[in-house]
Structure 1
Amino acid sequence: MTAAKTQHAASTDHGGACRPAMAGVVAVPPYAGGYVALDWLEHAPGFVACLVGPDLVFTHANDAYKRLVGREDLVGLPFRVALPEVAEQGVLPLLKSALETGERVVQCARPVRLAVDGGASQLRYVDFIAQPIPRFDGEECGALLILGSDVTMETVSERDLQFSLTHDVLTGLPNHALFRDRLEHALRRAARAQRPLQVAALHLDLFKRVNALVGRQGGERILREVAGRIERAAGPDVTVARDSGDKFLLLLEGEQQPNAAARIQDVVRAVAEPFEHKDHSVYVTCCVGGAAFPLSGQTADSLLLAADRALACAEEAGAGTQRWDDTLPDDAGIARLRLGFALREALAGDGLSVYYQPRVDLVTGEICAVEASVRLDKADEALSSATLNGVAEECGLSAELGAWVLRAAAAQAAQWRAMGFTSLRVAVNLSARQFAMSDLEDVIVRALAEADMPATCLDLGLTENVVMEDMNRVVDCLLALRHLGIRLCLDDFGTGSSSLINLQRLPVDLLKVDGSFLRRVPDEDGAAAIVDAIVSMGHSLGMRVIANGVARENQCEFLARHMCDEVQGDFVSKPLPADAMTGLLQTGAGLAPRLLRFNRTQPTLLLVDDETSIVSSLKRLLRGDGYRILTANSGSDGLKILAEHTVDVIVSDQRMPEMTGVEFLRTVRQLYPDTVRIVLSGFTELQTVTDAVNAGAIYKFLTKPWDDEQLRSHIQEAVAYGAMANENRLLTLEVRTANQKLAAVNRQLELGLARQQSEIERGEISLDIVHEALDNVPVPVLASDDLGMIVLANRAASELFAGREQVLGCDIRQLFPGMPDRLPEGELFSFEHRADGKRFTAEVRPMGSGSQSRGWLIAINGVETD
């Protein structure tokens, strides 16, 4: 409820008459609207309590007030019983005076000593307001509203104010500013006297979880105890400061490093002792990073940075660890730091560019999408997008950098659409920090609107580790993005920590196979099997599968045969600047037909023989038969050609150096089982050939010298055999493609039904809330449909018409015989009604002006008994 609505509700009685709202006061009327007011009081700034009756009994107190007075169980207790020590400090007479006179009592910066921390008292200064609240009929009901704000800091002495500027308020330890001042003085003394000096940074392990366990007050108590333990264990000659949150700083003078390390270890052990909280023990550990003068640095800044570096190493090593820094940052760290500075300046200016790498559809062979990646224009060397994204993450710039890439890519996509490339999609990867932003959807919608680009042209990429952190939140966020029309891609699949159960829940459209799986494809059976399994799994879940990092033609052929949908990598194109990518789109670049899933291309023959004259003769013989002919002079050369080209039929000599024809064809059968393999040799070697035929390594054995027509006939038969196998393969691919599309449609339906079900459940909950709210409204309310049938009656209306057997379902004119036969459309009107000894005014309001509802809403006012 807005402030304006709250004020209006607070100043209107149940009869509709309005009173001027009193300044600083929110009245609590005795009807359902009061619950809204109480909710407002609960979240009001300052300390708020409401008391009723001559004994001033608490009826409400917000959390801030309870924390101020140090007591939770106030409601139901008289003021004198609940807070006797406050009542004795002159507060109770002020309240009673306000009650008796009806005048507001205001006192600024009133001192009140309050009990906190289980009995210890503390002097606080508050602005005090006591305001009587009248009944709505004008009589006093004895209710008081107490408003106060803590102005202790504004009224403390100059000495206390100065102390608060140099010390931590919670622990009383020096703060960072005072510690730094003392460190600079200590460094000058150490330099003059040539004495050692150490600085240590101490950080509590997992303290956020501890704080969540014990609560805010419990966490503050533990921090105070930690501060005391550090001071006692370190000794009186060590400066201990609270840096921020759960981090502390120590300054040790005159100690050699081994002694300082031993003393700090005493601190670590002291912190690790159990803390008592309610009925159980709480354990807190800490990590410490130390730096020594002059080895780690000779200035306050360098020593504090060195201590933080050592602390980071200690935290990586595990809880309760101590590490010392004794070296300056390495060159790589300095270079990365400078790169972060350059990236920040490039973001602020105009020093970044977006490159685009195409993705090609393995069915059509055309460029179907481009993936955007960022480049730093003025870098000394070519830097990958992954390097820049990593630096941005370290510098806290990943969200800003990602938003910049999204805007730039959307603007470029709009230009391509204007050039006629309307089906082209642009893919942008989201970082972990971007995905964690609460306004991610707004950022994306704003970027698309600025570029005038439809959401249906955008693919968003997310890594497995990003989407697996909070599955329920992730699914809700992805569904919201998907509802906009954006396609979602799970990047680098197989390298993260996702489970198949979670993968099934994710509403993603695209699954991108990581390039590390493709390096050994198709040469190694294990790698090929993994890629094939990922493709099959993605299709079974209704996703399109993209292979990233495709570098060779045979990888592309393998992926096409195994139903992969799209390929991306250097084999297609390296990432290009926008102008070069535009040129590539305009030339219609894509994949050759032989590399596509449903390729029906010219039959290809591979002739392998160590005698070049034989190879030349065979080429002359077969040249006119319409074959694409490749040649090799050894088995190893033949394997190299097979790695780069798809071959239908192989004709190989038997006796060749390095490996025989049968050995060569045995290897081919393992790597390329779809080829038809023929041996052509002048040496019979019957047993070897028979074994090879029986093992399926060769299709036929032909002898030299050959009969030209007979050889051509055998090769035509082999090509036809291979073509039939290829047709069977294509039919299988077509069936699998149809099944894939069906699975995708089913997934779309499942996600749509899940969203509709969620919306229905939310709608039902909202409807229940509305019904309950109407039921608790003290004014009788009824609703009818557009035909005049009563479809809703709240509790007050049911009580008003208790003499009737049934209200719901009856005609509106049966309840109100005096109502006009024809209700004026779209108009508000009222009429008076008298029946069963009661008279009242009914206000009739048409419904449907702001919704799809139809009918009439009847509110009954001023019910009186004759």
Structure 2
Amino acid sequence: MNHSPNLATNAYQHFSSGQCDMESGLPLRIPFTEWLDNQLLNQPEEQLGACFMLDPGLAGLSQYVDDDALDWVQRDLTQQLKQLHVANIVVGRFAYSRFALWLGKLESLDLLEQITEQILFACSIPTRSGGVNIQLHPKIGVALFNQHGTEAPQLLEAARSALSAALSHDYQRWVLYSSELGRHVYEEMRLNVQLQAALETLAKSRRDTANMVMFNEVAPVTSQHALPFELAFQPEIDLLQGKVIYLDTSLIWRHADYQSLSSSEILTLSGQLGYARVLGDWWLEQATAFWHLLRNQHFSIDGITLPLIFEQIAQPHFHRNLCEQCERLMIQPQQIQFSLTENVLRQDPEKVLPILQMMQQSGFRLIINHFGSGSASLAELQAYPIDGVCIEPDFVKHIHRDSNSHAIVRSILSITRWMSKDAIADGVQMEAQVAMLQRNGCHLMRGPWFMPPQDQNTFLQLIQQESFLSKLLPPGHQNQPTLLLLDDEPNILAALKRALRRDGYVIFATTDPEEAFQILAANRIDVVVSDQRMPLMSGTEFLKKVKDLHPKTMRMVLSGYTEVQSITEAINQGAIYKFLTKPWDDEQLRANIAEAFRRLNIETENERLQAALETANQSLIHLNHTLEKRVEEKTEQAARDLEFLRITQEMLDTLPMGIIGIDNNDMIATANETAYCWLSRGEGLVGELILNVLPINLVHEIMKFRVGEKTEWSGWQIIQHAPCKVTLRRMGKHSQAEGMLLLLQRILTPSD
């Protein structure tokens, strides 16, 4: 490497302060590109030069460190890049996490890897901030002068394409541009141009792309067919209810070369081109218009599923506008289910989270799409107001034959059940997958097995026929003993079926292990009998997978070869219940298989009894807990009532009038302190007859009041030599109390 510093030093002197980034002091994109163009004019054709496009990884780091630490890392990175001057490398800053580097004189191609690794090493030196070591993980794309371009824009674009390739591979730190990458760049540019033209056509078709038009009461009309996009519809099935609950929507681009692009890919590219909001709003408008059409035709579908993108959430008053439109068109919020990607959740959490919370409180349903494919986990389900998840189709695709996919799906289903959230299996393609999902407790599904995405007219025809609902019915043999036979020789299978036919088993037979996995997934198989030596997979390998996917089956090997080691290992690992040899004795074979069914029935019955006992114990624990809670509540209530009575009695005792409660037997039931002072003769009042305590005239009035119909009476009486105003009131007007209340109010004289 040439260590002359003159070129780099002179190059930086060429840039004025206004042409440089304020933070790093490095030249910005346009000045750097113009400078590089001038350099290339004087570059000898035979002289190798290298253009590097560097991504140090600052964007990813910003999610994990605070602003102060990030500033420190940027300063340290800038210092490391400036030290590359000694290698005659000139550095420009193109974006927040994007730098361009130019080496005008590369001695030989053999040195390219060494120089690139030195640049990567310089950017990877750990920075210490706040007592923590922070390390960047940079990536580089490289393009060579004269081989990949002779002008600055060509070289920079080639280096950028190579960097994109490096970023798409986890373990590739740098990539050299190639003609294959060039073709990829061309196709990418062509795709962007075609999509931008289609999106511009869509934008022009809308009367006002700036205002969010979410709903349309009229279904899409024929003029919509002139647009470059259309929606496809697919039912989301609830197998427990046996009906369509939501209508899932997806996007089709009518361009002949790009119809295979998925909805998420089109939305992502639209966001990069600045049209995501236009496309998202049009999607909402068209989907809800079709939903109105279905509702008016009295189809029993609970709602519709739509994507929710960040550009829509970021609009001012998004939630308010959404609620107003729903109210105007008499749409219940729970009839709209929005699917979100992980990127939406993480793009701007401070802005997104409050809006999602308001949406859920209003009744809109929110689900995470492609759950399991990214880094979304239990944390997202806890942190965000999510109603459910849509399981990644790749896991559903292999659930019936791959133990890892099966384990992942089971884990997702366990998490969602524990958190009381829905789990929707996406991309169901065959009956075997449906059965496996049902067996693991998943009853919400969608996919080509029920109905592939269809355009509006085709969907209307198919949903009227309801032919897809016939696929929801379970096989009719689920309660019969079921046997699966696997052997690569058809004549062996035929002989086995003849020998076992009279025992009343439902028998499935196949020569293909892949078909056997599908049979196992689609049906409740009790006993599996497999040959050992087969061309595609050995019997022990097959039965080990069966054990992982269907652990409750009884698994047996029937073989003419005694491979002791592999069979012994399989038996020890629990993959095989019994090993049988060929040729077999029919009666002995039937007895062994019957014994396998008996053992399975015993294990099943034990599990049933254990489950019943566990359920009973749990019910008893719950009942005891409920009783304890009720006793505790009653005790607390009694204590509160007693305290209330004490407070009430204390309040009554402080009143300057006598208060006496009289029951239906003319006995004093209660009295306050004032009444005791006025009427007691050293004895208690409660329990005394009024005749023994009150003046005879007052007793007479009480008798008359009791048999009368008045609810209140007032008069004057002389009690203890003092005039008193007497009031009688019947009890029970606002309670279940009986009897009457006697109020005595003395009239004070000047001598008192």
1:556 aligns to what?
Answer: 434
Per-residue CA deviations over 1:65-119 (Å, capped at 9, x if unaligned) read xxxxxxxxxxxxxxxxxxxxxxxxxxxxxxxxxxxxxxxxxxxxxxxxxxxxxxx
Distance 1:557 1:270, change over 3 A: closer
Aligned residues between the structures:
522
Contact 1:289 1:307 in 2 (8 A): yes
Per-residue CA deviations over 1:604-628 (Å, capped at 9, x if unaligned) read 899999599999x99xxx9xxxxxx
1:291 aligns to what?
Answer: 143
Q: Report SS of the residue matched to 1:346.
A: helix
- In the TM superposition, what is the alpha-carbon distance from 1:473 to its structure 2 partner? 6.8
- In the TM superposition, what is the alpha-carbon distance from 1:537 to its structure 2 partner? 4.2
- In the TM superposition, what is the alpha-carbon distance from 1:269 to its structure 2 partner? 7.9
- In the TM superposition, what is the alpha-carbon distance from 1:602 to its structure 2 partner? 11
Contact 1:366 1:588 in 2 (8 A): no
Contact 1:195 1:254 in 2 (8 A): yes
2:38 aligns to what?
Answer: 185
Superposed CA RMSD in Å reads 6.2
Q: Report SS of the residue matched to 2:181.
A: coil
> In the alignment, is residue 368 of structure 1 matched against residue 368 of structure 2?
no
2:744 aligns to what?
Answer: none
The correspondence of residues 668-687 of structure 1 with structure 2, limited to 5 A, is: 687=588
- In the TM superposition, what is the alpha-carbon distance from 1:540 to its structure 2 partner? 3.6
1:351 aligns to what?
Answer: 228
Q: TM-score w.r.t. structure 1 length?
A: 0.47
CA distance in 2, matches of 1:201, 1:524: 41
Per-residue CA deviations over 1:679-735 (Å, capped at 9, x if unaligned) read xxxx995554444333325999xxxxxxxxxxxxxxxxxxxxxxx99xx99x99xx9
CA distance in 2, matches of 1:632, 1:284: 57
CA distance in 1, matches of 2:335, 2:177: 51
The correspondence of residues 655-670 of structure 1 with structure 2, limited to 5 A, is: none
Q: Report SS of the residue matched to 2:197.
A: helix
CA distance in 1, matches of 2:125, 2:521: 68
- In the TM superposition, what is the alpha-carbon distance from 1:176 to its structure 2 partner? 3.9
Contact 2:338 2:364 in 1 (8 A): yes
Q: Report SS of the residue matched to 1:592.
A: helix
Q: Report SS of the residue matched to 2:420.
A: coil
The correspondence of residues 351-500 of structure 1 with structure 2, limited to 5 A, is: 351-380=228-257, 382-385=259-262, 386-389=264-267, 391-392=269-270, 395=273, 398=276, 400-421=278-299, 423-430=301-308, 441=319, 453-463=331-341, 467=345, 476-500=354-378
Instruction: Name whichever structure is richer in strand by fraction.
Output: 1
CA distance in 2, matches of 1:369, 1:244: 43
Contact 1:175 1:242 in 2 (8 A): yes
Q: Report SS of the residue matched to 1:696.
A: helix
Per-residue CA deviations over 1:17-67 (Å, capped at 9, x if unaligned) read xxxxxxxxxxxxxxxxxxxxxxxxxxxxxxxxxxxxxxxxxxxxxxxxxxx
CA distance in 2, matches of 1:336, 1:202: 21
1:309 aligns to what?
Answer: 161
Contact 1:410 1:447 in 2 (8 A): no
CA distance in 1, matches of 2:173, 2:599: 67
CA distance in 1, matches of 2:66, 2:249: 42
The correspondence of residues 782-861 of structure 1 with structure 2, limited to 5 A, is: none
Per-residue CA deviations over 1:113-152 (Å, capped at 9, x if unaligned) read xxxxxxxxxxxxxxxxxxxxxxxxxxxxxxxxxxxxxxxx
CA distance in 2, matches of 1:530, 1:367: 26
CA distance in 2, matches of 1:391, 1:286: 25
Q: What letter is aligned with 2:297?
A: M
Contact 1:198 1:257 in 2 (8 A): no
Q: Report SS of the residue matched to 1:518.
A: helix
Q: What letter is aligned with 1:372?
A: T
Q: TM-score w.r.t. structure 2 length?
A: 0.53
The correspondence of residues 39-78 of structure 1 with structure 2, limited to 5 A, is: none
> In the alignment, is residue 573 of structure 1 matched against residue 451 of structure 2?
yes
Distance 1:648 1:419, change over 3 A: same
- In the TM superposition, what is the alpha-carbon distance from 1:301 to its structure 2 partner? 1.3
Q: What letter is aligned with 2:426?
A: N
Distance 1:320 1:337, change over 3 A: closer
- In the TM superposition, what is the alpha-carbon distance from 1:573 to its structure 2 partner? 0.6
- In the TM superposition, what is the alpha-carbon distance from 1:297 to its structure 2 partner? 0.7
**Alignment equivalent of 1:692, drawn from 593, 597, 606:** 593
Point out where structure 2 has 5 or more consecutive residues left out of the alignment.
1-14, 202-226, 486-492, 535-542, 555-583, 620-752
Q: What letter is aligned with 1:363?
A: L
CA distance in 2, matches of 1:227, 1:528: 48
CA distance in 2, matches of 1:532, 1:437: 38
Per-residue CA deviations over 1:276-302 (Å, capped at 9, x if unaligned) read 999999999976654332112122210
> In the alignment, is residue 547 of structure 1 matched against residue 425 of structure 2?
yes
CA distance in 1, matches of 2:522, 2:338: 34
> In the alignment, is residue 336 of structure 1 matched against residue 188 of structure 2?
yes
Per-residue CA deviations over 1:766-792 (Å, capped at 9, x if unaligned) read xxxxxxxxxxxxxxxxxxxxxxxxxxx
CA distance in 1, matches of 2:518, 2:43: 74
Contact 1:234 1:264 in 2 (8 A): no
- In the TM superposition, what is the alpha-carbon distance from 1:368 to its structure 2 partner? 1.7
1:793 aligns to what?
Answer: none
CA distance in 2, matches of 1:639, 1:649: 13
CA distance in 2, matches of 1:245, 1:612: 71
CA distance in 1, matches of 2:595, 2:129: 80
Q: Report SS of the residue matched to 2:339.
A: strand
Point out where structure 1 has 5 or more consecutive residues left out of the alignment.
1-161, 623-628, 659-663, 676-682, 701-723, 740-866
The correspondence of residues 131-146 of structure 1 with structure 2, limited to 5 A, is: none
CA distance in 2, matches of 1:510, 1:674: 32
Distance 1:383 1:439, change over 3 A: farther
CA distance in 1, matches of 2:279, 2:421: 29
CA distance in 2, matches of 1:471, 1:699: 52
Contact 2:436 2:521 in 1 (8 A): no
- In the TM superposition, what is the alpha-carbon distance from 1:546 to its structure 2 partner? 2.2
Q: What letter is aligned with 1:696?
A: F
Per-residue CA deviations over 1:310-367 (Å, capped at 9, x if unaligned) read 4556777899977654656343443233222222222221211111111122123222
- In the TM superposition, what is the alpha-carbon distance from 1:182 to its structure 2 partner? 3.3
Per-residue CA deviations over 1:536-570 (Å, capped at 9, x if unaligned) read 54334222332222222243344445542322111
Q: What letter is aligned with 1:298?
A: T
CA distance in 1, matches of 2:521, 2:133: 68
> In the alignment, is residue 515 of structure 1 matched against residue 393 of structure 2?
yes
Q: Percent identity?
A: 20
Q: Report SS of the residue matched to 1:550.
A: coil
CA distance in 1, matches of 2:495, 2:130: 93
Distance 1:695 1:524, change over 3 A: farther
Q: What letter is aligned with 2:33?
A: R
CA distance in 1, matches of 2:496, 2:173: 73
CA distance in 1, matches of 2:87, 2:78: 14
CA distance in 2, matches of 1:539, 1:309: 44
Distance 1:671 1:289, change over 3 A: closer
- In the TM superposition, what is the alpha-carbon distance from 1:441 to its structure 2 partner? 3.8
Q: Report SS of the residue matched to 2:469.
A: coil
Contact 1:424 1:457 in 2 (8 A): yes
- In the TM superposition, what is the alpha-carbon distance from 1:575 to its structure 2 partner? 0.7
Distance 1:522 1:163, change over 3 A: closer
Contact 1:551 1:569 in 2 (8 A): yes
CA distance in 1, matches of 2:511, 2:53: 67
Distance 1:206 1:520, change over 3 A: closer
CA distance in 2, matches of 1:459, 1:470: 21
Deviates more, 1:348-357 or 1:224-233: 224-233
